[in-house]
Amino acid sequence: MYERSMNAYGPDQLSYYVEDVEKSAEEFARLFGAGPFIVMEPVVFDTCVYDGKEISLRLKVALGHWSNIQVELVQKLSDEPFLSDEVGFGFNHINVTVPNYDEAVSELEAEGCEIGMYMEVDGMKVAYMRCPSTGHFIEIHEANPSNDATKALAAAWDGQSPFVG
């Protein structure tokens, strides 16, 4: 098989930019059996830079699992523009968890992609790469414990409520 870092490690998440996290989570559960979803708000970042400008982004996020892949639903709570506004509501990005953040970002930049938004959360660096020919963004970061947590919740889920708790 032809190996690149992007097919060696991912994708492990599909992300959607939505108007209403709860409504979208209910729909994903009903249509695809995805869930249960953990809803978090407000989600804020230690650092968030969009196109070179630091912003104070606040989000509402729901995380669940659909088969072997995590589903992320993102609703913006703050007024300022951010990367997801560029394409609007709907499918937004895939996530690729990599062993070396800097190498993965460099590899994508060498392929013509660029960092559209950069975040730091509890010391974890996260890049949202603009890769125009893919039609969506690619999120890059190192280990993410939320994926294991939502996978475990999905394995024990009875399919009743689309939400945890």
Q: What is the pLDDT of residue 164?
A: 94
User: Total domain count for the chain?
Assistant: 1
pLDDT in tens, 7-42: 666 789 999 999 999 999 999 999 999 999 999 999
Look at residue 83 and tell me if it is in a domain.
Answer: yes
Look at residue 135 and tell me if it is in a domain.
Answer: yes
Nearest to 19 by CA among 72, 89, 67, 85: 89
> Across all residues in the chain, what is the average pLDDT?
92
Look at residue 163 and tell me if it is in a domain.
Answer: no
Beta strands in 35-123 (DSSP E): 38-43, 47-50, 53-54, 59-66, 69-76, 90-97, 114-121
- 92 in Cβ contact with 2 (< 8 Å): no
pLDDT in tens, 44-66: 999 999 999 999 999 999 999 99
Look at residue 164 and tell me if it is in a domain.
Answer: no
Query: What's the whole-model pTM score?
Result: 0.93
Specify the DSSP element, H or E, that contains 124: strand 124-131
Look at residue 161 and tell me if it is in a domain.
Answer: no
> Which CATH number does the domain housing residue 149 bear?
3.10.180.10
Look at residue 15 and tell me if it is in a domain.
Answer: yes
Q: Residues 45, 41, 20, 72: is their CA dihedral positive or negative?
A: positive
Lowest-pLDDT range of 103-107, 137-141, 145-149? 145-149
Look at residue 53 and tell me if it is in a domain.
Answer: yes
Look at residue 162 and tell me if it is in a domain.
Answer: no
Q: Which residues contact 48 (CB under 8 A, 6 or more apart)?
A: 54, 55, 56, 57, 82, 117, 118, 119
Q: Which domain holds residue 13?
A: 5-156
Q: How far apart are CA 142 and CA 96, in angstroms?
A: 8
> DSSP alpha helices (H): ranges in the chain?
5-9, 21-32, 101-110, 145-156
